[in-house]
Structure 1
């Protein structure tokens, strides 16, 4: 646990008693605060009480009397589309609002850290797609090369639940826009921006607000080094804002769409080869094509970002290359589940929007595509350039018929359920085909989250083996 100092004897309220909320309560109490929690769900309140947490009804008339700060869990809106009523009440009462990420960063650099010869470092990864794989890959590279590392934030453990990092250790954080938009302190040593595509637009009031939430990781205090994907206009703008001169190597530009040039620090992937340039000279080259855990151009982008971040931490290209080759990938992200009679079954349940599904479609040929769920604004029209790879689509969930209309002449079948889709795809697949779950939609019509959807796919595939 990371105890949170600075609130000794003061009352701090935590709204939302899921994983991060309970961790925040424990960390605040350990730091000497009078920590109280609230959740509108009776089940969540019961779990918190069973864990020994003190509750305070923030919806009561005097709910914020004597409260010095409100800590809000990531899923709770504070501005768009409308503020949560408790957050609105806190703001009306003048109570400052923060989240667990802000508490984490304000707690660093104190106590034991001041006496270390090599203080721990923090790498924070944000972006629309690939941030989980990039963060996990950085953690994997560090672990494989003998550097003590902890993975936390939106992946792994809650950020305040990790062990206090030791001398020379690294904390790798995956941060969503929900986490970066509200944190009052954001001071990583290295900040990584993978890419930006439309997502969560209702939560952020549009694309500009979404980008602004991501940009805060770089503007609120400023990292020592920034690794920025420059394949979208927003990434190029952010890179331009961070650099003081073309040769400023506090910035590492990353691309999988262009051969980068210039006097700065550059990492890009072309035709399956990762290349590093610095000060106009090539430093390293790595063949990514046969790394099973990193299929497709989107994973090559993740590899470039992880390579750049770990190079900024002082690791050698040779050590990074060896670690890349041992990376097995993450569940629900281009996860090879099985190969049965020459047919591959791949679980990319995390592809919850059209852009991430498009990246999955580009990674394979002869695809039996399982798609559908709770569709997002914009539908799947943007996937038209990749549909030539699809032999047939098997559509599930709420948006199955909308997807069917969008697919037009592409062979497709409305299956409704995962069970039916897997069975139909498996029965029609030929050796060399890939049965790919890349839904291009949220899961909440049929599953509580994308993990449960992916688990269902995996279970159905395993049943095929008998």
Structure 2
């Protein structure tokens, strides 16, 4: 745990008692604060009480008036589409509103660092897609290279549940727009922007607000080094805003699909090969085509980001390349579950929207595609340009009929449930094909979350392969 600094003897309210909220409450108590806790959900309140916390209804008038600070969980709206009543009241009174990320950055450095040979560093990854894979890949590379490291934020442990810093340690954090938007302190040593595509639009009142939330990590965080994906206009704009010019190597531009020339430091992937260039000279080249856990152009961009970060941290190309090969990937993100008679089974249940599904469809040459669930506005019509590799679609969930009407000439079968879809796809698949679960839809019509959906797929495949 990282005790929060600067709160001793102060009364601090905590709104939202999920993973980050409870961790914040513990860390605030450890820092000497008097903590007032509340959650609108009965189950969350019961969990907090089971830990010994006393609850205070912050919604009632007088709930936050005496507090020096309000700490809120990232999922609770603080501005758009409308602020939570407790947050609105705090803002009316001028009470500072923060989140666990802000508390982490104000508390991570301590006097103990004076005795370290090398100061710890914090690497933060944000963007629309690829954050989790990039974060996990960086952590994996550091771990197998023998560098002390921890991983947290939007993946793994909550930031205030991390252990106190060690000599020469690197903390790798995945940060969502919800987390970067509100944090009052943001001071990463290295910051990564992967890409941008429409998401959380209501929460940020449009794409401009969404991008602005991501941009705070750089504009207000002031990292020593920024790794920026430049395949979208927003990334190019951000890189231009941060750099003094093309010769500024504090900004490392990365890309998947285009050669980057004329800049001081770039890392890009083309046709399956990663290249690092510094001041007009190639510093390294790696063949990514055989890295099973990083298939497709989107994962090659993740590899470029991880490569750039690890190079800034002093790792050698051979160390990074070797770690790529041992990376197992993340569950539910292009996860290879098994193989039989030349047919691979891939769990990409995390693809809950068309942008994520498009990346998976582009990654394989011949696909038996399991799709469907609780479809989002527009269905899968936008995936038409990416369906050329689909041999046949096997549709499940509430959106099955809608998706069937948007497949064009692609053969399909309405299977309804996962058991039928897996069985039919496996029965018809030929050597060299991939049975891919990439739903392009939410899971809530049939599952509690995308993880449960992916676990169901994995269990049925393993049973089919005799591994259950």
- TM-score, reference length from structure 1: 0.98
Aligned to 1:354: 354
Aligned to 2:101: 101
Q: Does 1:160 align with 2:178?
A: no
Q: Which stretch of structure 1 is more off in the superposition, 51-60 or 153-162? A: 51-60
Q: In 2, distance between residues paired with 1:219 and 1:177? A: 14
Q: In 2, distance between residues paired with 1:28 and 1:340? A: 52
Check conservation: 2:369, 2:437, Cα contact below 8 A.
yes
Q: 1:210 to 1:263 in 2, by over 3 A?
A: closer
Q: In 1, distance between residues paired with 2:101 and 2:387? A: 40
Q: Number of aligned residue pairs: give it.
A: 466
Check conservation: 1:199, 1:353, Cα contact below 8 A.
no
Q: In 1, distance between residues paired with 2:263 and 2:182? A: 36
Gaps of 5+ in 2: none
Q: In 1, distance between residues paired with 2:50 and 2:405? A: 50
Aligned to 1:318: 318
1:210 is displaced (CA, Å) by 1.0
2:357 partner SS: helix
- TM-score, reference length from structure 2: 0.97
Q: Does 1:243 align with 2:257?
A: no
Q: Which stretch of structure 1 is more off in the superposition, 373-382 or 150-159? A: 373-382
Q: Which stretch of structure 1 is more off in the superposition, 334-343 or 81-90? A: 81-90
Aligned to 1:22: 22
Deviations 1:389-435, CA, capped at 9 Å, x for gaps: 00111122232222222213211222222222212212222222211
1:169 is displaced (CA, Å) by 0.2
1:203 is displaced (CA, Å) by 1.5
Q: Which stretch of structure 1 is more off in the superposition, 97-106 or 112-121? A: 112-121
1:341 is displaced (CA, Å) by 2.9
Structure 1 residue ranges (4+ consecutive) displaced by more than 6 angstroms after TM superposition = none
Deviations 1:231-253, CA, capped at 9 Å, x for gaps: 00000000000101211000000
Aligned to 2:423: 423
Q: How does 1:233-312 map to 2 (within 5 A)?
A: 233-312=233-312
Aligned to 2:377: 377
Q: 1:397 to 1:82 in 2, by over 3 A?
A: farther
1:454 is displaced (CA, Å) by 0.7
Q: Which stretch of structure 1 is more off in the superposition, 249-258 or 102-111? A: 102-111
1:57 is displaced (CA, Å) by 0.6
Aligned to 2:330: 330
1:36 is displaced (CA, Å) by 1.9
Aligned to 1:447: 447
1:441 is displaced (CA, Å) by 1.6
Aligned to 1:123: 123
1:205 is displaced (CA, Å) by 1.2
2:26 partner SS: helix
Check conservation: 1:16, 1:72, Cα contact below 8 A.
yes
Gaps of 5+ in 1: none
1:152 partner SS: strand
Aligned to 1:403: 403
1:221 is displaced (CA, Å) by 3.0
1:264 is displaced (CA, Å) by 1.2
1:407 partner SS: coil
Q: In 1, distance between residues paired with 2:211 and 2:316? A: 32
Check conservation: 1:64, 1:93, Cα contact below 8 A.
no
Q: In 2, distance between residues paired with 1:160 and 1:323? A: 28
1:100 is displaced (CA, Å) by 0.4
1:9 is displaced (CA, Å) by 0.8
1:381 is displaced (CA, Å) by 2.3
1:204 is displaced (CA, Å) by 1.3
Q: In 2, distance between residues paired with 1:294 and 1:37? A: 42
Q: Which stretch of structure 1 is more off in the superposition, 320-329 or 188-197? A: 320-329
Check conservation: 2:36, 2:55, Cα contact below 8 A.
yes
Q: In 1, distance between residues paired with 2:57 and 2:106? A: 27
Q: In 1, distance between residues paired with 2:267 and 2:178? A: 28
Q: Which stretch of structure 1 is more off in the superposition, 452-461 or 92-101? A: 92-101
Q: Which stretch of structure 1 is more off in the superposition, 101-110 or 303-312? A: 101-110
1:140 is displaced (CA, Å) by 0.6
1:413 partner SS: strand
Check conservation: 2:91, 2:97, Cα contact below 8 A.
yes
Check conservation: 1:343, 1:432, Cα contact below 8 A.
yes
1:342 is displaced (CA, Å) by 2.5
Q: In 2, distance between residues paired with 1:192 and 1:254? A: 10
Aligned to 1:9: 9
